[in-house]
């Protein structure tokens, strides 16, 4: 694999996604062990969160983006006995076609797509020929079908989370409204009791206490009424 990615240290900070920085460093230094570890930990969820090819072109340049994809193409090709190796021109053309046709997919998508082809998750497990027909018309569309099922699942989960949070907020404010209403009702009831007992003697108070103890709707105010025994002798 002769591809060399010439990304300067000044360019690396332009890549906002830490996962993509790790990947580009592996590709730039031909760190095959690092790339194997990266690939091992890669799945649909974190591939979705990677850097889109269109954005990567702006961050590190078109040449470095295509060179990175060339490395992945040649790496895949080297793992299979599929006839003669691709020429540099063929690999570059295929890489350019991928960027042009799938600008809003991520560089991580390409790594994961080739991994899944190699593992037989995508494709027929027999034809590993690297050409536009297989990569652009078969493997990538099949991979994207799986990817967008995951995207829809994540979106649905996010919507459910937002709905749950919204419901929680509504329940909280409903509780506050009820507490305020209950407090206002209690204060109003206590004011009414204060006025009512002004004309009572002790016998009338005891009769009222006995009467309220038999009525469910009056029991919440019974203790307050009983406290009037302290002032009505």
pLDDT 10s digits, 23-71: 998 988 889 999 999 999 999 999 999 999 999 999 899 999 999 999 9
DSSP state for residue 52 in the 8-state scheme: B
| 3-class DSSP assignment, residue 106 | strand
pTM, to two decimals: 0.65
Residue 83 is predicted with a pLDDT of 60
Query: Tens of pLDDT along 84-137?
Result: 678 889 999 999 999 999 999 999 999 999 999 999 999 988 888 888 899 999
The residue ranges of every structural domain in the chain are 12-154
> In the chain, which ranges are continuous DSSP H helix?
18-28, 32-40, 44-48, 53-60, 62-78, 88-101, 107-118, 132-134, 140-197, 202-212, 222-226
The Cα 132–Cα 28 span in angstroms is 25
Query: Tens of pLDDT along 162-202?
Result: 777 777 777 777 787 888 888 888 888 889 988 888 888 88
């Amino acid at each position: 694999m002769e591809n060399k990615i010439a990304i300067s240290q000044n360019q690396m900070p332009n890549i906002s996604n830490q996962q993509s920085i790790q990947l580009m460093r592996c590709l730039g230094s031909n760190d095959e062990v690092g790339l194997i570890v990266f690939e091992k930990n890669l799945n649909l969820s974190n591939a979705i969160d990677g850097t889109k090819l269109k954005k990567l072109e702006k961050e590190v340049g078109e040449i470095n983006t295509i060179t990175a994809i060339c490395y992945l193409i040649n790496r895949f090709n080297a793992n299979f006995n599929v006839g003669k190796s691709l020429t540099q021109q063929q690999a570059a053309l295929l890489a350019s076609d991928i960027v042009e046709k799938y600008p809003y997919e991520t560089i991580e998508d390409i790594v994961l797509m080739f991994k899944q082809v190699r593992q037989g998750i995508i494709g027929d497990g027999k034809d590993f020929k690297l050409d536009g027909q297989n990569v652009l018309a078969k493997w990538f569309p099949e991979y994207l079908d799986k990817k967008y099922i995951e995207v829809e699942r994540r979106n649905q989960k996010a919507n459910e989370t937002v709905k749950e949070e919204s419901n929680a907020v509504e329940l909280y404010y409903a509780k506050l409204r009820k507490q305020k209403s209950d407090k206002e009702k209690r204060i109003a009831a206590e004011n009414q009791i204060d006025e009512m007992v002004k004309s009572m003697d002790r016998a009338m108070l005891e009769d009222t206490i006995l009467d309220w103890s038999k009525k469910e709707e009056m029991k919440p105010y019974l203790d307050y009424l009983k406290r009037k025994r302290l002032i009505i002798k």
